[in-house]
Amino acid sequence: MLDRFKGLQLNFLHGLLVVVFLVGIACVEWVINLTSSQYQQLKSNRATTELVGIRSQMEQLFGEASRAAFAFSSYFSVQPVTEPVNTRLLAVSILKESPVVKRVSVWRNQDLLFAYPITPAMTLWTSQAPKQYDLTSPVAQLFENYQVSSPRLLENGALALDVTLPIYTRHFTFSGFYWGSVRLLVDISEIMRRVREGSAADYELALSRASVEKLGEEVFLGNPDILNTADATTELDVFNETWQIHARAKHTNTKVSGMGWLRFFGYAGVIVLAAVIALLSRSYRALHQQAQTDVLTGLLNRRALTQRFKSLASRNDKPLEVIYIDLNKFKPINDQYGHAVGDRFLMHVASILNTYVNAKEAGRIGGDEFVVLRPLKTSELGNSDSVKDIVEHLREHPFVFEKGELTIHASVGRAEFPAEGRSLEELLHVADERMYEDKNKNA
């Protein structure tokens, strides 16, 4: 029972080692995932906060362009007939107050009346007349009548779009309300540059149209990959359109490497803990082995032999025999050849006994005294040949060493359980007496 209990202890340590290792790995991954999730949430919250500020700045800059268009439209609705110099002064003032507006033009129906500033590359811009508006429209709907072109690249590589607003007038010289339109060139790149000068410098930004039909054309500024990996996204109303701003934090590798170090130290801690448990298990096994076996021969010692006997005897009182073996002429071997040879001689005897019976059923209880426990069949009760067999088995395997060969002689006695005793001590006493009878007979 004690052997079984100690075996269970060893199995428990082995199981504990596996459980600690697996649970440790799972805990490390859980902590990493939790930390990563919290970091991603924190990063997303920070990006959302920053994006609100970015949207506010962009709305302010686009609002300046919107007010500039409305100012020009209002001016011509009141004075459709005006001097070019006054129009130029108004355009200069608008471009100065709204730096994101790069060009202004005025159209009378489909004809260009005014453009400022005039550059060699503006031919394409002035050749595309705005669409016609309704002849009559309430002024209250003026802001709903913006025409916004698709973003395009300018001659300097900047991204811009055209914003067109109709001009309605009640001037007595014109019939109807619709007079023409004002077109502004709004520099999106300039807007983004001003935005990036603030906190947006830590983020990569991308702009897309929320209502675009072709997904492949939705991103018109920034890296399209940002859409799939954005930390935050928000909508931006630009004139009569809805855009989306996508933000992704730069320099995220620091956190990734931080997770790597966390995983490294976490796994290292698990391995160290598992190694400690493994060392404890090995130490326990070694101590258990030392407590159970004879140091020299590796056979069971008296204590372990007693436990083994109890284990065998508890199996429904099945018969077994206790064989007591005493080596003859061992002292002269020690005296003549030395203790080193004597120890080797004893180890040789132990190996022979291990081939005769199970290693867990042979033990050494004294200097040259050995005990063998052997289950008996019913037919062997009272007439076992084990004594004769052991003597012959030992004699057939002499000890060979550097100085020659030594035949093993032994005196043997036996006792049967339960007929001749219920405890190991009782049986050893009977077997010891019979061993001495055999020794005296062979003397």
Active site residues: 368
Q: From edge to edge, which strands make up the β-sheet containing 219-221?
A: 219-221, 203-209, 241-249, 232-238
CB 118 within 8 A of CB 141: no
Dump the DSSP string for 77-143: HH-SS--HHHHHHHHHHHHHH-TTEEEEEEEETTEEEEEES--GGGHHHHHSPPPPPPS---GGGGG
Amino acid at 436: Y
Q: For residue 229, give Cα distances in angstroms to 205, 222, 260.
A: 11, 13, 20
* Bridge partners (DSSP) listed for residue 414: 323
Cα 284 to Cα 304: distance, rounded to the nearest angstrom: 16
What DSSP string describes 157-203? S-EEEEEEEEEE---TTSSSSEEEEEEEEEEHHHHHHHHHTTGGGGE
- Reading the block at residue 49, the tokens are 């906060």
Give the separation between CA 2 and CA 311, rounded to whole angstroms: 9
Q: Tell me whether the omega of the peptide bond preceding residue 375 falls within 30 degrees of 0, making it cis.
A: no
Helix (H) or strand (E) holding 410, with range, is strand 410-417
Identify which of 401, 417, 416 has the alpha carbon closest to the alpha carbon of residue 346. 401
3 state SS of 362: strand
CA distance 330 to 327: 6
- 3-state DSSP assignment of residue 377: coil
Q: Which helix (H) or strand (E) holds 24?
A: helix 2-78
Alpha-carbon span 161 to 164, nearest angstrom:
10
| Rg of the chain over all Cα atoms, to the nearest angstrom | 51
